[in-house]
Structure 1
Amino acid sequence: MPASPLPTAAPAAVGFRPDLVERFDAGVRSGLLRDLHAVVIARHGRIVLERFFEGTDEAWGRPLGTVAHGPETLHDLRSVTKSIVSGLLYGIALARGLVPPPETPLAAVFPEVAALAEPDRAGLKIVHALTMTLGLAWDESLPYTDPRNSEIAMEAAADRLAFVLSQPVVHPPGTQWTYGGGATALIGAIIARGTGRSLQDFAREALFQPLGIDRFEWHAGHDGVVSAASGLRLTARGLLRLGELLLARGRASDGTEIVPEDLLQAAIAPAATVEPGFDYGRGWFLAASPVPALGGGDRRWVGGFGNGGQRLFVMPETGISCAIFSGAYNAPDDWVTPTRVWREIVLSNLVAA
């Protein structure tokens, strides 16, 4: 059954400026906050701002035309899918004893992939796929409309797993972070093999249903296997519930354990450096930002990032979660609006602990 909807609260009741919503609306009218499809902000489990917009949308690259978004509208997460697969579903499967532990060599998991018999690939382990430190060549800097983009080439390959694991070795495993959907495709396959179920069926039973997320879609490739890297679609409230799960240390609102706390903490612990001050865990981006109302100093946050401006931000110390959908697909500045929402609307308008 769907869970009870999250309660709402006036912003001032949970420590925001009373005119938080008005400030957000002014940012939209001014054009500083553009391309938005949905924004939902909550603190201490109560929604303080929820806005939906009409805009041009896509479903995994397929044009949908103009969509009037609302609470029940499904929306691409794009690469926020990676955070859910590597950062949540793998941990759940590991806790159930259904998948090998992170230190397991990939050669033992995918014995059919001939490339893994090569000596320079012997050190590849599951943890390197979880943290995107495989050390294999991968380039997603090209537009996702370009067949040379590594993720697009993987989706077109006859064997996704062999495609990923046969890429040239460019760094020793575990030494260099390289963004790539191929790493998450491996984790999705490990979960599917270990559970004996499709990734979407396992997600439905183990994660979505216990959280009351009763609607989702998951795009599949030509082989019928869903894309673990970018194919999931949720509602904005559904995505926010995953943020609330992180804030509740892996438990649903009724106290039921969904992800064991130790495995969740392992997923959101820094494992690789993206750039100075910006780290990566198991599927999650990790950084810190100042919160003026809390006396200075940076507060750590956890983020799921997706092409087009899709975001899930969670700041555990403040009890804040924020889900953002946007339509700036493939735009080089797709990060601008969600960053402004997070910094200038959410964090800058907090006035009390």
Structure 2
Amino acid sequence: MSLVQAHNSMDPSIPYQQLLEYEGKYEYVSGSTLKIMASPMDTTLYAVIDKAKYPLYHVKDDSFTNIDDTPVIFQRNDQGNINGYTVNGQLFELITTDIEKLVMYPRKELFNHPEDYTYQIPKRTNDGLEVENINNAFETPERIKEMVKQTIKGNYPDVHSILIYKDNTLVLEEYFYGYDINTQHQLRSATKAFIGSLVGLAIEAAAIGSEQDQLLPYFKDKYKSFDHMSQRKRSITIQDFLTYRHGLDCENNNPESEGNEQQMMESADWVKYTLDLPVVHQPGEVSSYCTGAALTLGRLVELATDKPLEEFADKHLFKPMNITNYDWRFDPDSTSRQTFSQMYLQPRDLVKLATMYMNGGKWQGKQVLPENWVRKTFEEYTSEFGYLWEHKYVVIDGKQYNSYMASGNGGQKINIWPDYNMITVFTGGNYNSYELYGKSTPPNQMIPKYILPALD
């Protein structure tokens, strides 16, 4: 069961003050906890897990439903106070009502007067990013300023940050919902792109021979055997996993796929679960987006280097770029069901990492990632993927804008636009956007509506 699983019916009339009754920190699955918070902006009750908000829809009395229409029923004690909730008959008790609430408005002081927003040049720090006025970088910068006003107005909810790096300078840096320049943000699946970086660095360190190597031999000391063994499975290469052409029955967006993300997360060892999957296509031919493939590559780096992935990343990727304010616990197993083995980074550091890629693996003149690995990363092995980066293009009035993208659930978008010497970074909290609202996350609307037209 889960609180965070589309809803059909709801009673929108419950007032905000009544929703406050349910606020608190509660027990959750597998010994974890969650918070219940009420938002005055949209009069909605949210379950909050690791700062990610999931709406609960009021039905009647103390009954709500999650986005999967599963009843969430709050319980009261003899004094009439809320003391827990039940889901599928399982009781989860209230731990405390003393909680630190999320900021529910984009910018509360400007929410009713977004026209009062004034653009500011990004702050100059010692992080290595040069800054510049956006008016010197775009033909029509007013479009982008209007985008910020619309975000403040709440028309693009739960966008946490917008950064634009153009012509080697940071020209826009805006934060919302209480986030700021120092806040680490979860990357969700955008983490995968940087696992690809670490594979390249492990090859450079001679811990891995080549991405053309067969994959399974690297795991022979970790696992005694694999299910569904065949010659096709033995032939799978590291490159097949880097390009999602693994050939396995693993497709995140297909609920019938044995290896889809939700089923994988129910297993004890996500890497073993992935490697045990049956082969359904010839490896190296058909791409299929699969979280297990990227996580397996992370474990590959650990086994090949005999170091925790976080330690290897810190030494070979983050420290050379002076990236220090981050968090990452890479454990691709059942202990990561709430955190997904994802990275947490500051948005400015995402700009730095994307800049390093855009500059052929160099940061401030130092070669961090091998140039040939960057080149291979962005090659088009299929219409969709390079090495764990996506090929993403937008067409506006017949004109195509091409980018390389690292993307994560909730609106985490890192786009490199090589033809325009530009990087755009969005972070956000629109988790499970398609299930909730029937549309993609705000950056997919904002980039073509405001940013790209401002170039011309």
**TM-score (norm: length of structure 1):** 0.83
Q: Does 1:286 align with 2:398?
A: no
Q: Distance in 2 between matches of 1:80 and 1:229?
A: 12
Aligned AA (2:234): A
Change (3 A) 1:220 1:315: same
Aligned AA (2:450): I
Q: Single out whichever of 25-34 and 328-337 deviates more from structure 2.
A: 25-34
Match of 1:187 in 2: 297
Q: Does 1:127 align with 2:239?
A: yes
Q: Distance in 1 between matches of 2:281 and 2:340?
A: 22
Change (3 A) 1:155 1:218: farther
Change (3 A) 1:16 1:218: farther
Q: Distance in 1 between matches of 2:189 and 2:149?
A: 29
Match of 1:237 in 2: 348
Query: Shift in Å at residue 297 of structure 1?
Result: 4.3
Q: Single out whichever of 282-291 and 128-137 deviates more from structure 2.
A: 282-291
Aligned AA (2:415): F
Change (3 A) 1:169 1:142: closer
Match of 1:251 in 2: 362
Larger RCO (CA within 8 A; separation ≥ 6): 1
Q: Structure 1 or 2: larger helix share?
A: 1
Task: From 310, 328, 333, give the equivalent of 1:218.
Answer: 328
Q: Which protein has the larger Cα radius of gyration, Structure 1 or Structure 2?
A: 2
Match of 2:5 in 1: none
Change (3 A) 1:129 1:6: same
Query: Shift in Å at residue 93 of structure 1?
Result: 1.6
Match of 1:58 in 2: none
**Residue deviations 1:286-315, cap 9 Å, x none?**
1333578xxx74342100010111110111
Change (3 A) 1:226 1:283: farther
Q: Distance in 1 between matches of 2:335 and 2:205?
A: 23
Q: Distance in 2 between matches of 1:198 and 1:135?
A: 28
Match of 2:131 in 1: 8
**Residue deviations 1:21-54, cap 9 Å, x none?**
4222233255442220111111122111111111
**TM-score (norm: length of structure 2):** 0.65
Q: How does 1:281-320 map to 2 (within 5 A)?
A: 281-290=386-395, 297-320=399-422
Q: Distance in 2 between matches of 1:132 and 1:230?
A: 19
**Residue deviations 1:91-142, cap 9 Å, x none?**
1221221213111112322223522743331221111111111111124237
SS in 1 for 2:278: coil
State the identity as a percent. Answer: 24
Q: Does 1:335 align with 2:447?
A: no
Task: From 52, 55, 58, give the equivalent of 2:175.
Answer: 52
Match of 2:423 in 1: 321
Q: Single out whichever of 134-143 and 184-193 deviates more from structure 2.
A: 134-143
Structure 2: runs of 5+ lacking an equivalent: 1-124
SS in 2 for 1:304: strand
Aligned AA (1:73): T
Q: Does 1:207 align with 2:330?
A: no
SS in 1 for 2:363: coil
Q: Distance in 1 between matches of 2:280 and 2:340?
A: 22
2:187 touches 2:343 (CA, 8 Å); kept in 1? yes
Match of 1:59 in 2: none
Q: Distance in 1 between matches of 2:202 and 2:215?
A: 17
Q: Single out whichever of 157-166 and 130-139 deviates more from structure 2.
A: 157-166
Task: From 153, 163, 187, give the equivalent of 1:40.
Answer: 163
